[in-house]
Amino acid sequence: MNSEAGEIKVSQQELIRESACGIVEKLTSGVVTPLDLLDVLEKRISDVDGKVNALPILCFDRARKSATELMKKPISERGLLAGLPVPIKDLTDVSGVRTTSGSRIFKDNIPAGSDILVERLEENGALIYAKSNVPEFGSGANTFNEVFGATLNPWDTSRSAAGSSGGAAVALATGMAWLAHGSDCGGSLRNPASFCGVVGLRPSIGRVARTPNGKVDTTLGSVSGPMARNVEDVALMLDAMSGQHPGDPLSLPKLAVSFLSAARLGKKPKRVAYSPDLGITPVDPQVAAITRAAAERFEEAGGIVEEAHPDFSEAHECFHVLRAFDYVGMGALLRKHRELIKPEVIWNIEEGLRLTVEQVAHAEMQRVAMTARAVQFFETYDLLLTPATIVEPFPVQNRYVNECASKMFDNYVQWLGIAYAITLACCPALSLPCGFTESGLPVGLQIVASPGGEARLLAGAKVLENVLDLRRTTPIDSRGTEPGR
């Protein structure tokens, strides 16, 4: 590899398997350059992405131009990421790069400007080199669309990578990214992280500034957040993403202590709660057993683990209404392009258009009540632990999960209740790899903190990550249809 410090030999495999924090150290010490990393990624994508379809849109020319400009600055002035390449989810605008939202309606859309989030990352030294695949309009927790096709789970390519940040999670798991951007309304960062064996964090509303689209505040507060292969890397990216911005009136100022410092400090929680189901959903027995065993290992760090959860009994009704209300803004698209929209999205839009003002007001009151109960719950417990998803990765040809533990679901999102209940309560949450099923497929543990409690969340997640010590060979290569091989 060529670097500003001279000719340095670093193998591509060494770089691919390095952590994001380790890559930043190599960048700031001059061991590698941003251009070196782009070369490594372009080769890796060429070798791997044809098997999993995670990064369908590439923009290496744009990235190299940005890298060349960045390298004109002293290394100390290149931002937190110092030239680290990052893919952006294909729901978020990047100037001059296709942004399709996985929709045939927007398959040729090239925005002139970037989202606030992208601008913030680039200000902090990120190089945008790809867009990651998503379900159509980010709807449904299985990443497939009519523009680019399905993204496949690299642990078993016959299985789903979940969604909607499925492309991001797969890119991380296969060494095509060190960090990745995702977004989350009903689990879209947490579900794919669980299915792919990486870490995904949904921050509190306002922690990451974004460009308002349609409304200043989407009803459910879909938020952007970081994904990576370990907790410290997620914390690093959250530092690079967060901060107040005048273009987003809901955005929060940076905290005095960085999230990376909080993660590394590893403050141990004194009392944590575990719930297999939050009292609202069936769970596959194997997933429940794996996550319970992982949660109980907090005891090895000196914590008390008890089975408990806040009252989320209104979550399904509340989420159904508020999600549908957020789709009302797509009514014009439905009228003009109905034949180009998948049936699940049509159903959501039509559900929204049928809502009454009283239904929306009632759902908002339900959400306020659930949030208040969650805040009170966290006066007793430092963290809440649950399965991140209720099933192991399912066959990719299934559009969504119809049933679990002999329980049939009413619609295509109800199986996500264990994630969207936490969204409704305005809590930050992450999915941490915690074990494998008998089929050799990853399982994620959802770790939840009180609203605004990302520092506590990351510290606790780092403690458990150390205890579990699930050090395994990552990134993994695509495994075909033979799981656990």
Cβ–Cβ < 8 Å for 127, 97: no
Tokens in use for 51?
Answer: 């098997």
- In whole angstroms, give the CA distance from residue 180 to residue 185: 17
Nearest Cα to Cα of residue 46 among 176, 139, 165: 176
439 is catalytic: no
26, 89, 342, 462: the active-site residue: 89
Residue 234 structure tokens:
């997620």
Rounded CA separation 302/246 (Å): 43
Residue linked to tokens 């408990």 = 308
Cα–Cα nearest to 38, from 81, 2, 85, 6: 85
From 101, 132, 188, 251, the catalytic residue:
188
Residues ≥6 apart with Cβ < 8 Å to 287: 387, 389, 390, 391, 392, 437, 443
Tell me whether residue 342 is one of the annotated catalytic residues.
no
d(CA 173, CA 40): 16
The residue annotated as part of the active site, out of 101, 103, 139, 164, is: 164
30/2 Cα distance (integer angstroms): 10
Q: Which helix (H) or strand (E) holds 31?
A: none
- Phi, psi of 449, deg, nearest 5: -125, 170
Is 3 labeled as catalytic in the residue annotation?
A: no
Q: What radius of gyration, in Å, describes the C-alpha atoms of the chain?
A: 21
Whether 163 contacts 368, CB under 8 Å:
no
Spatial separation of the C-alpha atoms in residues 177 and 17, rounded to whole Å: 10
Residues belonging to the active site: 89, 164, 188
